[in-house]
Amino acid sequence: MVFLTDEARKRNWVSQHHSEEANFEKGLQERLQELQQQYGGRIAVKSRCVPKGEREEEIWEIFEAIEAAVERDDRVVLDITHSFRYLPMLMVVALHYSRFLKENVQIERILYGAMEALGAPGEVAQMPVEKRIVPIFDLTVLVSLLDWTIAIEQFLQTGNAAILRDLSGEQLKRWLAPTKGQLGGKIRRLADRLADFSDVVVTCRGPQIRPVVQQVATVLPQAKQELELLPPFKPLFGRIQDRFTKMDLGDEVCTHIEVAQWCADRGLIQQGLTILREAMVNAVIARVLQQPDKLNDKAYRDDAECILNAHKCEQSDELLAGRSYDVDLTTLRKLWSQIAEYRNDINHAGWGRHNKHVAERFKKDLPKFVSKMRQLLCEI
C-alpha cells in the first residue's frame, strides 16, 4: 500500500510518458509492476490518495486512510523513508490505533532508508547506481519500547501483567532467534514471574505470595544484565525493581502487608483486605504461638482466630497461658475487628449487613489499615 498526495502521484508514481510533470522515466508504479512480474504476481500493489495534510481536517483524513487500509490479521511493514514532516509519527499512531481495534494486527518492521548517509543529493546523483548502497535502519525496536512502556505502566498501575506476558512471548522471539537463546530468556522469565505474581495476588493465593515475590527478586538482577544490550529498556524494568525490593522483607507477615499495600495502590480492594486479614492470622501463629512453620495448618489458624476473637472465644486465655510474646494483642484485636467488618461487607457485596460502607470508604481506609499493620508488626 502506497499513500500518495496528488503531487506525489504526478511527479513520482507515474512515468514520464504518463505525465509531463513526472520526475522519472519509470515511475514507482511501473517499477513495482516489474517486481510483481518478477515474483509471479505474489506482490499485491495498491495505492491510495491522501491530502497534503496542511490543515487539521486533512491530517485526520490521512489518519483515517491509514487506519482503513489495515485489516484483521495483517502483518505490517512500514517504510518511512519518503515520509514528510509529521507523517512518520502519524503513521505509527494510526497503526497502533488499528492494532487495538482490529484483531491480530502486528507491526513487523519499521524501516528507514538513510539516503542522506551517502551524501548530499547532488553528490549521490553523480554516483554510479551500483555505488548507491543506502543503509536501511530497522526502527522496530522503537515500537517495542512503546509496547513495553505501556505494558509495564499497566502492570505498575493495575497489577495486571497479562500484556507483559504476551509481549515476552511475541516480541522476544526476535531477540532470541539471532542469539540462539542467549538474549531475551531471562527477560522472558521475569515477565513470566510477574504474571505469576499478578495471578497469585488477584486470586489471593496466600501461601504462594512470598515465594513468587522472592522469585521476582531473584530474576530481576539477571534480566538487568540482558538489558545492558537494550539501554532504553533499563529504566522501565528499574521501576519494577524499585517496587519489588520493598516487598521481600525477610518475613512472611511483613511481605503480605506490603502486598496488601500493592493492592491498595492499584484498587484491588477485596484482595487487599483478604490478604491483610490472613496476615494477622499469620502474625499470631508466628509471633504469639511461636509456630512460623505452621502457617498452613488449619488447627493453628483456628487457634489464632480464637485469640483474635477473644471477646467471643472462651479458649483464648487458655491458648495464651504461659506464653511470652512482643505483639500488642489489644491493638491487634481492635484492628482485626475493623478489618473483618470491611472484609465481610465486601465479600457479601453489601447485602444484608448492618455496617455497610460506601465504595469510597474501602479505597480510603484500606491504606490506613495497611499503615497501622506495618507500624504494629513490622516497625518494632
Q: Answer with the one of 139, 170, 200 that is the final residue of a domain.
A: 139
Categorize the per-residue pLDDT at 193 as very low, low, confident or very high, splitting at 50, 70 and 90.
very high
Say yes or no: 273 and 337 in one domain.
Answer: yes
- 327 CB-side CA count, 13 A: 27
Alpha-helical runs (H) found in the chain: 6-8, 28-38, 56-69, 87-101, 121-126, 140-158, 162-170, 172-179, 185-202, 206-226, 234-244, 252-265, 269-283, 298-308, 316-320, 329-347, 359-377
Q: Kindly give the pairing relationship between strand 106-113 and strand 136-138.
A: antiparallel
Q: Which of 193, 222, 244 is the last residue of a domain?
A: 244
What pLDDT is stored for residue 295 in this prediction?
96
Residues 10 and 129 in one domain: yes
Contacts of 275 (CB under 8 A, 6+ apart): 201, 204, 206, 209, 256, 259, 260, 263
pLDDT tens string 48-75: 999 988 899 999 999 999 999 999 999 9
| DSSP codes, 51-73 | ----SHHHHHHHHHHHHHH--TT
pLDDT band at residue 323 using 50, 70 and 90 as cut-offs: very high
**For 124-137, b where at least 16 C-beta lie within 10 A, e where not — what string?**
eeeeeeeeeeeeee
Q: What is the pLDDT of residues 13-43, one digit of tens each?
A: 999 888 888 888 889 999 999 988 888 878 8
Say how far apart CA 78 and CA 88 lie, in whole Å: 9
- Give the end of a domain, one of 189, 220, 244: 244
Report pTM. Answer: 0.80
Closest CA to 236 of 165, 160, 149, 310: 149
Distance CA 94, CA 48 (A): 15
> Is residue 154 pLDDT above 80, yes or no?
yes
pLDDT at residue 171 in the model:
67
CA–CA separation, 256 and 259 (whole Å): 5
Domain containing 187 equals 144-244
Q: What is the Cα–Cα distance from 231 to 252, expressed in whole angstroms?
A: 35
- Look over the chain and give the mean of its residue pLDDT values, rounded to a whole number: 88
Please tell me whether residues 10 and 109 are part of one structural domain: yes
State how far the Cα of 361 lies from the Cα of 339, in Å rounded to an integer: 12
Terminus-to-terminus CA distance in the chain, angstroms? 67
Do both 302 and 321 map to the same domain? yes
Domain total of the chain: 3
Measured CA distances, 332 to 62, 250, 319, 373 (Å): 63, 21, 16, 8
User: What are the tens digits of pLDDT across the range 213-239?
Assistant: 999 988 988 888 777 767 777 888 888
